[in-house]
Amino acid sequence: MPGLTGYIVRRLLLVPVVLFVVSVVVFALGRLTPGDYVEIQAGSRARPETIERIKEERGLNDPVYEQYARYMGDFLTGDLGKSVIYRGADVQEVIFPRLWITLQYNAVVLLLTFAIGIPVGTWAALKRGTWLDPLAIGTFLVFASVPVLVTVPLLQWLFAVKFGLLPSGGWEAHNYLGVKLGIFSRQIILPVIVLTLPGVAGIARYMRAQVLDVLDQDYVRTARAKGLKEFVVVNRHIVRNALLPIATIMGFELSGLIAGSIFLETLLGIPGIGLYTFEAIGSRDYDSIMAIVLVGTAAFLLANLLVDIAYGFIDPRIRLSGGPA
């Protein structure tokens, strides 16, 4: 498949381009911060000479492109700057443990979204024409329409306060074979419910449309005519063929998860990267904000790239080289 490798190379090349553009924008914006954050950090009683000395030390008097090169050089070698919120800590010491927490529950959410969305969508398509189809799709559409900002306090009120069933927030991690995992604690239930339900609608609708497409195909009719059991027809002939394009919708789900995590973690007090973002905005921790934006964007791009590549491998029919824009 020469087209496929060409496509992957093209996508791979796009990633650094986008990252470069974003990093330039982020850096330029960071340097536009008012009144020199050195002055803010040094305090109002600092003498002008002190401020000048700090600026000289940090190279803030150099030309901007040199500063940019230095910043990116440090960034790529793993030095993301100093955190203001966690005094003295380097940003990279704060950001990666938190990213790990966010990734854990998001992975669970993603798996569950597909695990629920695919059967629901298939089932709705098979029940086309009955009231069950719009009911199933409609129910999940309702969940999809109500934002995390609304569902979290509502569910906290219902489950944690009224019925006392679930912990009201926080994060609890235990060691499993030397890895700190929080996905087996009760704290994870609420966030997973809140993030999974909205995602299901997207997958289910997409799956439903795919199944409806496949349903009329000749090979499905043939399979039925052969006298195969309905279960086999659905699983082997319908679902498997309908599944092919579903990877495309992953990227969409991912961008929803990034935004959702910020609100979710802030409301529930989960010490992931979303809460970190919130704290960094509140205390104007510019090094942290810049690192979060860059790392977040890179993670997002990579995830999308993986999805694209996976899609290319799953479905050889896709025109990868010189496809429509």
Partner 1 sequence: MNYADAAQPLASEARRSFGLRAFRRLLRRPLAVIAVVIIVFVYATGLLAPAVAPYGFNEAEFGHGFAAPNVDHPLGTDRLGRDLLSRAMWSAQTTVIVSVAVVGTGGLLIGLSLGMLAGYAGGRTDNLVMRAGEILSSVPTILLVIIIRATLQDRWTDLFHNIEDLTHFPGLVSSGAPSIVLIFGALSIFSWFGMARLVRSQVLALRESAYILAARASGASVWRILFGHLLPNLTNLVIVVVTLSLGSAALAEIGLTFLGIGVQPPHPSFGTMIFEGSGLSNIRNHPQLMLVPAVVVGLLLLSFNLLGDALTDILSPRRR
Residues at the interface with partner 1 (CB under 8 A): 14, 17-18, 21-22, 25-26, 29-30, 32-35, 141-142, 144-147, 149-154, 156-157, 160-161, 168-169, 255, 258-259, 262-263, 266-267, 277-278, 281-282, 284, 286, 289-290, 292-293, 296-297, 300-301, 304, 325
What is the rounded CA–CA span in Å between residue 191 and residue 100?
15
Q: What are phi and psi of 294, to 5 degrees?
A: -70, -50
Q: State the minimum distance, in angstroms, from the CB of residue 5 to partner 1.
A: 21
Other beta carbons within 10 angstroms of residue 274's beta carbon come to 25
Q: Classify 179 as helix, strand or coil.
A: strand
Closest to partner 1 by CB, 113 or 288 = 288
Q: Would you say 182 and 173 are in contact if contact means Cβ atoms under 8 Å apart?
A: yes
Tokens of 199: 């995602």
Q: Would you say 249 and 202 are in contact if contact means Cβ atoms under 8 Å apart?
A: yes
Q: State the minimum distance, in angstroms, from the CB of residue 177 to partner 1.
A: 33
Cα–Cα distance list, 254 to 47, 152, 266, 304, 308 (Å): 48, 19, 19, 8, 13
Ordered DSSP codes for 105-131 = HHHHHHHHHHHHHHHHHHHHHHTTTST
Q: State the minimum distance, in angstroms, from the CB of residue 38 to partner 1.
A: 15
Name beta bridge partners: 176.
179
Q: State the minimum distance, in angstroms, from the CB of residue 99 to partner 1.
A: 13
Q: State the minimum distance, in angstroms, from the CB of residue 267 to partner 1.
A: 6
Q: Would you say 94 and 288 are in contact if contact means Cβ atoms under 8 Å apart?
A: yes
Q: Classify 315 as helix, strand or coil.
A: coil
Closest to partner 1 by CB, 6 or 316 = 6
